[in-house]
Amino acid sequence: MTSAPDPVQTLAHAVDPAAPILLFDSGVGGFTVLEEVRKVLPDAPILYAADTAGLPYGAKTEAQIAARVAGLLGRLTERYRPRLVCIACNTASTIALGMVREVLEVPIVGTVPAIKPAAVLTRSGVIGLLGTEATIRQAYVDRLEHEFAAGKRLLRHGAPELVEAAEAKLRGQPFDAGAVVRAAEALRSMPDGDRIDTVVLACTHFPLLEPELAQAFGPDVRFVHGAAGIARQIARLTAGQEYARQSDDLALFTGSGNAPDAYAKALRRYGFAKGEVF
């Protein structure tokens, strides 16, 4: 009697080896996730899409973000046929992840604030959370707090200026270092803020500023973000699949034709031969 085929193996063999993993972000913060993906899946073709024309997401309404993310990912998946989509953006994930999973017939990995590991790491019981204004007000974050940080104190601060600073830093341009100091002071000034020993970087842009944040918060504060965990999840969902890079990895940008030139040095640093406008 012939046994039934393993559905996981069948799915793995059905994937085009040249199909890319699509990483999507409002800007280039998702490069922090890309770094971790390349560590665990060095042979995987990568397509990176930055919605620079829509930046910053944190200042938009939930409806605007959901419609924009779903529309762009629909176009991208139809054109490039990725094997998996990673929304490498906390704001987009906390708002649009459910909608995107309903409309796209491709595995979707989201990015959520790393509250669970922060709750394990903290010794003082006081955790700071830095995100965009749109992220920190989401019910999704409330649920993460109730589920994983019960008995802890989670102090939230929306720091949209850090997105701008991170983007400028990656472009090699001067950036507002004062924005980092102001973000740290905002958390420290809250009740029990002086006891913060762990900070969740709930925006993929913010790890790009970790050296500056470490200086602003002091040596006794640890920073947590979810990039490594996201990469592990992508590796798990693509386990057994073959990879065949038939062309250079590609970075796409929405907006003006000057966007790829503005990020030329960063693209080379992160292994992209070129960038194009989508």
Catalytic residue, from 89, 115, 163, 267: name it: 89
Q: β-pairing, 250-253 with 274-277?
A: parallel
d(CA 252, CA 113): 25
Assess whether the previous peptide bond of 42 is cis (omega < 30° from 0): no
86 given a catalytic annotation: no
Nearest in space to 89 (alpha carbons), one of 1, 14, 166: 166
203 given a catalytic annotation: yes
Catalytic residue, from 203, 209, 227, 234: name it: 203
Q: Which residues are the active-site residues?
A: 89, 203
